[in-house]
Structure 1
Amino acid sequence: MPDVAIIGAGMAGLVCAQQLSQAGYSVLVVEKSRGLGGRVATRRLHGTCADHGTCYLKPKGELLGRFVELLRSRHILEVWTDTVSEHTENGFISQPQSPSPRYVAPGGMSAVAKFLGQGLDILLNQRVVAVTPTPENSWCLTLESSTEEITAQALVVAIPAPQALMLLAPLGDSVLEAKFLENLRSVEFSPCISLIAGYPPTSQPLPQWKALTFVDHADLAWIGLDSSKRPHSQQPHFVLQSSADFAKSHLDTEDLQPVGQYLLQSAAQTLLLPWLDSPDWMQTHRWRYAFPSRPWHESILSAAIPLPLVCCGDWCGGNLVEGAMLSGLAAATEVNNQLQHLLLPNVNFLDFFTQ
């Protein structure tokens, strides 16, 4: 029985796990997917890789800034570009007035999560389908594909709020106070459809920009020349992300291939790159909980019950990767305060990796 069970191996869950593990707690992370990182995700396909979730890191605060410098020193991250251009409604492409570096992993952004997962006890491909309190004053986690159950003194739920609500709502008012579930229900997300498309090496002309944001486009939000991140890339490939409104209208479409083709046609017409709608290959992905559109206003959401239960994620504060990391640290502090009051790492989990 671990001291703490953490559901979700995204950035918040991994940071929380590292902080508690370094303090001396036994921690088990349970993740439904086959890889770490949540939206810090990389697909490997056609002899290359592409970042179809978080496409780069742009640190603003001290924590993410230190983390990026650490990953640069380990040759995991490097500067990709200091300019993300904007495509406006009238067809002009403008440059930002104050450029700032964007950092990427040449081996794929999932390398960031793999670095964070070092030394942790993680169960992959295991979906938690039920959470219940036990008479022994612990949490019991039921897994979808296993007859074994996990019990832990404390539970951290580090997944999108709507998924957390589906898992915790069955506990009802008899276990959780109504206000906690109401707060969880108040969080909303915008979806996104992400597309990876590869082209012949002879495709011309390649754009001068590496990344482009669409301003007020009905269908498109962002496009990046993802192959420019990769050393010795054999062919150009792009990652395209839809607008939230477009994704909402196609969120439950069974076959996303025509949806992806439509996005490519729209991008080809908008950017005056006619060859863009004729890729050698393409793959489309649905992110149901891409961006917190109505985040929780605090760094965690903790249940006021005797058994420690803390929710965390990028939706706590709503500042994407940086917010997720800060939320994970806050969740670790809250769990520690409710358990053994061990000495947490002096500054944060990063000290462990610099020793």
Structure 2
Amino acid sequence: MNSIIFDVAVIGAGASGLTCAQQLQNAGYSVIVLDKSRGVGGRMATRRIAGTRADHGVRYLEPQGEKLQQLIQYLKTSEPLENQLQLWTNTLYEFKENQLQPSTISQPYYIIPSGMSTVGKILAQGLNIRLSSRVESLTITPENTWQCQIELSDNNTELPHTVTAKSLVIAIPAPQASILIADSNIAVEPNFLDSIKSVEYAPCITVIAGYSTAKQNNLPEWKAVNFSDDQILDWVGVDSSKRLNATQPIFVIQSNSNFAEQYLEASDLNAVAKKLIHQAANTLFPGLDTPEWIQVHRWRYAFCQKPLSVSCLTTIIPLPLVCAGDWCGGNKIESALKSGTQAAHWLQTQTHLLKNL
């Protein structure tokens, strides 16, 4: 790989990066995707636990937006059955002003029994992807190409520690992108970096909690509840209701941003999880207070609260570079898909640069 010069290197294997990579590869470009994680999908994340799976990132897909509707139609035909998108519910509940009631909005909410990370795996099919590969710095070579310096980890020590490409796509959360560019001392236009730094994210703490099989037949009628005015809760879902032939109740509890900001750096995450579980039990379902096991995950960049107004951020100084993600043009999956598509389109308009550098 050290001797290969790719047309495009994509940093980030979330929805935006994978969409961009697929578009470029289908157009005939040689593309490599780099991601620091052990799996693809970004916040479309599923954890294997206790012989089953639990979604601790993206909760579901809803048909809002052209790109997301196209993805939903595609996923409905995926094989096998556990990898197909399926209707989860038409009604979410709301807890507001101390009352639990069905939402006034009725629409289909879709899930995948094998987990929401399956969406990322399907988007990644056929791509050249290098996982467990955190890009720690960027340089410009004497041949006018991008060189990505890869941090070596225990499971990729035999792989090359650099990747070279004519153009670069950065499809990671804006704060991470700004740090990577600034620390690399790349001479981009000041307005370009300032735009990235203006983006703001809110964090979230997610708890996955498993319960006794004896409670499987005594679950609430609701599958998920949104909170608009709770001091610490944002969402509670019966995650096991997404699985085929589930035998153990599993709930996913997500905090609001204020609570996450307060406890994001806490050393004892189990104690933090117990606060969330206790609040959910007092508010919704007393049985939640006695889990058999719990796992906790911190999402530092869970929700984009202050996105850019453009679908992707581009520059040709010093070389073709485009930033993409849900923070470009919005803050949801539709924005990420659209951003990845627009990033690929912009790079294709730079074909003369890609082919002649």
Equivalent residue number for residue 338 of structure 1: 350
1:93: how far off?
1.2
2:95 pairs with one of 77, 87, 100: 87
What one-letter code is carried by the residue in structure 2 that aligns with 1:289? Answer: Y
Aligned residue in 2 for 1:316: 328
String of CA shifts for 1:299-336, please: whole Å, max 9, x gaps.
01112414101000011122311110100001101111
Give the distance between the partners of 1:190 and 1:250, measured in 2 at CA: 13
Q: Would the aligned equivalents of 1:31 and 1:123 in 2 still touch at CA under 8 Å?
A: yes
Tell me the secondary structure at the aligned position of residue 214 of structure 2.
Answer: coil
| 2:121 corresponds to 1:117 | no
Provide Cα deviations, 1:109-133, integer angstroms capped at 9, x if missing partner: 1111100111000000011000111
Look up the match of 1:64.
68
Equivalent residue for 1:175? 187
Pairwise CA distance, 1:47 = 0.7
1:184 paired to 2:196 = yes
Look up the SS of the partner of 1:238 in the other structure. strand
CA distance, structure 1, for counterparts of residue 192 and residue 24 of structure 2? 24
Aligned to 1:141: 148
Equivalent residue number for residue 299 of structure 2: 287
Within-5 A mapping of 1:1-355: 1-74=5-78, 75=81, 76-89=84-97, 91-145=98-152, 148-172=161-185, 175-203=187-215, 205-271=218-284, 273-340=285-352
- Whether contact under 8 Å (2:151, 2:161) holds in the other structure is no
Residue 216 (structure 1) shift: 0.8
Letter of the 2:314 counterpart: S
Letter aligned with residue 116 of structure 1 = L
Task: Tell me if structure 1 keeps the 8 A contact 2:303–2:331.
Answer: no
Whole-angstrom CA distance in 1 between matches of 2:347 and 2:33: 15
Q: CA deviation at 1:212?
A: 0.5
Counterpart CA distance in 1 for 2:73 and 2:331 is 19
SS across alignment from 1:56: coil
Deviations 1:328-353 (A, max 9, x none): 001101111123499xxxxxxxxxxx
User: What is the RMSD computed on CA atoms of the aligned residues?
Assistant: 1.4
For 1:300 and 1:4, locate their aligned partners in 2 and report how far apart those are by CA, in whole Å: 16
Amino acid in structure 1 at the alignment position of 2:149 = T
Answer yes or no: is the 8 Å Cα contact 1:177–1:304 preserved in 2. Answer: no
> Across the two proteins, how many residue pairs are aligned to each other?
339
Q: CA deviation at 1:3?
A: 0.6
Q: Deviations over 1:279-303 (max 9, x none)?
A: 0111000000000011111101112
Q: Which runs of 5+ in 1 are unaligned?
A: 343-355
Superposed CA deviations along residues 121-153 of structure 1, whole A, max 9, x for unmatched, are: 000001100011111111000001055311100
Question: What is the distance in 2 between the residues matched to 1:58 and 1:224?
Answer: 16
Contact 2:46–2:57 (CA under 8 A) maintained in structure 1 = yes
Q: Give the CA deviation at 1:82.
A: 0.7
> 1:171, CA displacement in angstroms?
4.2
Q: Residue 351 of structure 1 aligns with which residue?
A: none
Paired amino acid for 1:46? A
Alignment TM-score, normalising by the size of structure 1: 0.93
Contact 2:305–2:331 under 8 Å retained in 1:
no
Decide whether the 8 Å contact of 2:232 with 2:256 is kept in 1.
yes
Structure 1 counterpart SS, 2:291: coil
TM-score scaled by structure 2?
0.92
Q: Distance in 2 between matches of 1:164 and 1:97?
A: 38
Deviates more, 1:331-340 or 1:280-289: 331-340
CA distance in 2, matches of 1:17, 1:240: 33
Contact 1:59 1:322 in 2 (8 A): no
Q: Distance between the aligned counterparts of 2:246 and 2:214, measured in 1?
A: 13
Question: CA offsets, 1:63-93, max 9 Å, x none?
Answer: 211210111122420000011110012x211
- Name the structure 2 match of 1:352: none
* Deviation string, structure 1 residues 171-193 (Cα, Å, up to 9, x no partner): 44x61111111111000000000
> How much identity, in percent, do the aligned residues show?
50
Paired residue secondary structure (2:302): strand
d(CA) in 1 for partners of 2:260 and 2:321? Answer: 32
> What are the superposed Cα offsets for residues 243-293 of structure 1, whole Å, 9 maximum, x if unpaired?
00000001111221110011000111111x222111011100000000001
Deviation at 1:231, TM superposition (A): 0.9
Q: Following TM superposition, by how much is the alpha carbon of 1:50 offset from its aligned partner in structure 2, in angstroms?
A: 0.4
Structure 2: segments with no counterpart, 5+ residues: none
Cα distance change, pair 120–340 in 1 and its aligned pair in 2 (3 A): farther
